[in-house]
Amino acid sequence: MSEKVRRRLPRQVREQQIIDAGMQVFSKRGYHAAVVDEIADLAGISKPMVYLYFGSKEGLFIACIRREGERLTEEFQGAAREGHGAEAQLWAGLTAFFTFVAGHRDGWVVLYRQAPEVGGEVAAEVTRQRSSVMAAVTGLVASSSPGGASEEAEFVAHALVGAADSLTDWMERHPGESPERVTLRLMNMVWIGMRSALRGEVWTPPSGEGA
């Protein structure tokens, strides 16, 4: 009976189940130590079925990266659209980002901790997902900049994403800090400077010699 139930599941539903199982195993054991047998057991299917759906362990890993990257970008963009003005959009987007990381720790471990070390097609997929996140943040920053100052917006976006990325490790060491609290502290640190930079204000060293 259970075999019949499994065969009747729509392909998309089955794929998501396998990806869910893969996320758990990859995040726990790492890509190289993970074995397809364990993933199949966790998903409640046979090992050949994993290969039927994804072709290889690498194919499944790439599918995991793609899903988590797309989810993160969608969460950020969806939340940012709800805000009115750059300040509110950035607050909403960053809160969604940290909430996603806190609620999908397995996905974050796979996407940003393990995947860059694998190389090949995996590294290429990581690059695509990172570029997507960066483009979303850059677009938000540019929309608040007079004239859309693309070069400055890209610089600010890289600095912002780098800070947010580093803070995810800090969050793991401080589990009592809520996503909202982390966002508030980051906004207090970066927003005033970001707003000034987008207005064209420039800081110079005490010697008066600018960069």
Kindly state the DSSP code that residue 117 receives in the 8-state scheme.
G
Rounded to the nearest 10°, the torsion over CA 165, 169, 172, 174 is: -100
List of residues 6+ apart from 123 with CB closer than 8 A = 115, 116
What the chain holds in terms of domains, given with CATH numbers, is 7-198 (1.10.357.10)
| pTM, full prediction | 0.80
Q: What is the mean pLDDT of residues 5-26?
A: 85
Lowest mean pLDDT among 96-100, 109-113, 138-142, 177-181: 109-113
What is the pLDDT, as a whole number, of residue 66? 92
The residue among 153, 186, 154 whose CA lies nearest residue 168 is 186
State the CB neighbour count (10 A cutoff) for residue 15.
16
More confident residue, 209 or 189: 189
> Hey, what are 130's tokens?
């990172």
- pLDDT 10s digits, 36-48: 999 999 999 999 9
> Is the pLDDT higher at 162 or at 145?
162
Residue 22 has pLDDT above 50, yes or no: yes
- Over the stretch 107-151, which tens digit does the pLDDT of each residue have? 777 767 777 778 788 888 888 988 898 888 888 877 766 555 577
pLDDT of residue 198: 67
Question: Does the structure show a pLDDT above 70 at 208?
Answer: no
The CA R_g of the chain, rounded to the nearest whole Å, is 20
- The encoded tokens of residue 96 equal 């969604």
- Phi first, then psi: give them for residue 40, nearest 5 degrees: -65, -45
pLDDT band at 2; cut points 50, 70, 90: very low
